[in-house]
Amino acid sequence: MKFGMKYSLVAILAVFVGQMAVAQTEAAAPAKNYDGTAEVSSIVTNGNTKNQTTGLAFDLNYKPDPWLVNLKSKYLTTVSQEVQTQETFEASGRGGRTLSPQFEIFADHSYLKNRFAGTDNRYVTSGGLGYGWLYSDEQKLRTELSLGYTHEDRTDNTKLGFMSGVVGLIYKWKMTATADLSHETKYMPNFQTSDDWRLTSETSLSAAISSMLSSKVSWKYEHVNLPTAGKLKGDTTTTISILAKF
In this structure, are 13 and 122 located in the same domain?
no
Residues 129, 160, single domain; the answer is yes
Please report the pLDDT score of residue 125 as a whole number.
97
Residue 81 has pLDDT above 90, yes or no: no
- Residues 134, 21 share a domain: no
On whether both 103 and 10 belong to a single domain, the answer is: no
Confidence class for position 119, pLDDT limits 50, 70, 90:
very high
pLDDT of residue 21: 46
Mean pLDDT of 28-36: 76
Are 171 and 65 found together in one domain?
yes
Residue 58: which domain range? 33-245
CA 244 – CA 223 distance, rounded (Å):
29
Question: Residue 163 pLDDT > 80, yes or no?
Answer: yes
170/50 same-domain check: yes
Q: How far apart are the first and last CA of the chain?
A: 53
Together in a domain, 74 and 150: yes
126 and 64 in a common domain: yes
What are residue 132's DSSP bridge partners? 142
Pairing of the two strands 83-98 and 198-208: unpaired
- Do residues 203 and 189 lie in contact, with contact meaning Cβ atoms separated by under 8 Å? no
Residues 76 and 50 in one domain: yes
Say if residue 137 is in the same domain as residue 97: yes
Q: Residues 107, 17: one domain?
A: no
> What pLDDT digit, counting tens, does each position of 86-99 carry?
999 999 999 999 99
Read off the CATH number of the domain in which 108 is found: 2.40.160.40
Q: Looking at the structure, do residues 222 and 196 belong to the same domain, yes or no?
A: yes
Tens of pLDDT, residue by residue over 165-178, are 999 999 999 999 99
How many domains are there within the chain? 2
